Structure 1
Amino acid sequence: MQNPNLNPSVVSPASSQELPPIARQQLHDTVVDHLRRFIVEGVLEPGRKLNERELCETLGISRTPLREALKVLASEGLIDISPNRGASVSKMSEAELRETFELMSGLEAFSGELACERITAAEIAEIKALHYAMLACRAQNDLAGYYSRNQAIHDKINEAARNSALRQTYIAVNRRLQALRFRSNFETPKWDRAIDDHAHMLEALDARDGKRLAAILRQHLLAKRDAVLRIGDTPTTLE
């Protein structure tokens, strides 16, 4: 049962399910994963000052593992930590948002071009399976489930590029954009256009057409940027 003392704005319906006790040996990674998901899904929205007591109660942990997790998220650019003001969720300026999405569009495009040269039939089959699972989530209006499969598709395309330098840069930049990429699907027409983009991505992968896949991925990311800019500071509470 949700703690009645928690601020209802801290935990949304999408994440208010009772969390299982965290095994001590898995504590660090699990806390980081939970907090990262809260940020990505808008439970902890950009600019929010983090209340350590409430987060500890929500996760069922002490302050030491929480603070260690916050340091990890700060190194990823998801959390800002100030000696005098504590921790808050990072918030990009409009200029930074535009520039980071532009960079990500280039990284995705390059990933697609290399992937078409190097991807295996088995990897394409995995991506297709994720695509159909993503469609099932869309039919159920399950944005969190949709997003996790959507991101897995993009991640597998990047992995198929088989370029470790590209991989490291992709992961670092994408972590900063995940919450915004999730948020871009709050517009239903944009969500459905993204699904069409993914169908075209599969066609390009099947044809090993790197130039086409690169162009689709680049525009796909720029469309996400535009959707985020249209949404602006609209509250991110999930339905």
Structure 2
Amino acid sequence: MATGILHTKSDDVESEAAKPGRGGFAVARPVLHETVANALRKMIVEGALAPGARLNERDLCAVLGVSRTPLREALKVLAAEGLIDHQPNRGAVVAVMSAKDICETFDLLGCLESFAGELACAKSTITDLNELKALHYSMLACYSRGDLSGYYEYNRTIHDRINLLAGNDVLRQTYLALNRRVEGLRFRSNHDAQKWARAVAEHGQMIEALEARDGPRMAKLMRQHLDEKKQAVLVTLRGDAEPAA
């Protein structure tokens, strides 16, 4: 699917009522473009739509079980987020980030998550901590089963919850915009067993720092965690490029 979805001609007209989706990505009706956008983000994150893949509206409508109207609105949203590009003679494609873009994005995310972690240590309640621990244990269960998709959902939720606990709206909006661009890269970086195990251990240390209300340690751990993730992503990209070279 990642390479087989081709761009349609610009004069394609609205298809007949959407048929049931295939491929496990169908979304429930009634469908809003936000729901379709979420489904497309998941496909990009998990590699069903790979970086550089051309997007075919007809095929995507069949996969998702929707008509072209919400799909086109969703594609506009993803384009604004930087997840897809419109290229001359190619049409819409999944965005490809350069190594420079990746480094700069992860470096800035490290600063944002570090600050969020420090604020969360000061602002979180006992209830907040218990909820984070419950998410952490669920993530560990997915890790023990080798369930990467489930693991990543809990992992993403934990980082998102820490960001919310910081209670800074400007930080929140900046974080969401940046993180969407690299979610697929973060997901793929866990395919290396050793790096995945290290990431799990770092999450355990974060929970300990939050429980201890140790803001400086939490800030250091979050920055280190994002730097480790950046290095893992760059190694993955180099591995992908070697066969082509």
Using the size of structure 1 for normalisation, the TM-score is: 0.89
Which of 130, 134, 143 is matched with 1:138 structurally? 143
Per-residue CA distance 1:5-36 (angstroms, 9 max, x = gap): xx57559xxx932635x313x43122111100
Superposition pairs of residues 87-106 of structure 1, within 5 angstroms? 87-106=92-111
Q: Is the 8 A contact 1:112 1:161 kept in 2?
A: yes
Partner of 1:232, secondary structure, is helix
- 2:81 corresponds in structure 1 to 76
Cα pair distance change 1:95/1:64, threshold 3 Å: same
TM-superposed CA distance for 1:233, in Å, is 6.0
Q: Provide runs of 4+ in structure 1 moved above 3 Å.
A: 7-11
Q: Is 1:16 equivalent to 2:23 in the alignment?
A: yes
TM-superposed CA distance for 1:85, in Å, is 2.8
TM-superposed CA distance for 1:60, in Å, is 1.4
Partner of 1:186, secondary structure, is coil
Q: Is the 8 A contact 1:10 1:43 kept in 2?
A: no
Figure out how many residues of one structure are paired with residues of the other and give that number. 224
- 1:224 corresponds in structure 2 to 229
Cα pair distance change 1:100/1:65, threshold 3 Å: same
TM-superposed CA distance for 1:184, in Å, is 1.1
- 1:190 corresponds in structure 2 to 195
Q: Which has the higher contact order (CA 8 A, sep 6+)?
A: 1
Partner of 1:131, secondary structure, is helix
Superposition pairs of residues 77-226 of structure 1, within 5 angstroms? 77-82=82-87, 84-226=89-231
TM-superposed CA distance for 1:131, in Å, is 0.3
In 1, the alpha carbon distance for the partners of 2:95 and 2:124 equals 35
Cα pair distance change 1:108/1:43, threshold 3 Å: same
- 1:3 corresponds in structure 2 to none
- Equivalent position amino acid for 2:221 in 1: I
Which of 61, 64, 69 is matched with 1:59 structurally? 64
- 2:11 corresponds in structure 1 to none
Stretches of structure 1 that go unaligned for 5 or more consecutive residues are 1-6
TM-superposed CA distance for 1:223, in Å, is 0.6
In 1, the alpha carbon distance for the partners of 2:2 and 2:37 equals 21
Per-residue CA distance 1:112-154 (angstroms, 9 max, x = gap): 1111111111111110000000011011111010000001111
Q: Is the 8 A contact 2:2 2:48 kept in 1?
A: no
Stretches of structure 2 that go unaligned for 5 or more consecutive residues are 6-21, 241-245
Identity, in percent, stands at 54
Q: Determine which structure has more spread, i.e. the larger CA radius of gyration.
A: 2
In 2, the alpha carbon distance for the partners of 1:84 and 1:64 equals 23
In 2, the alpha carbon distance for the partners of 1:119 and 1:179 equals 29
In 1, the alpha carbon distance for the partners of 2:222 and 2:165 equals 15
Superposition pairs of residues 42-53 of structure 1, within 5 angstroms? 42-53=47-58
In 1, the alpha carbon distance for the partners of 2:4 and 2:132 equals 34
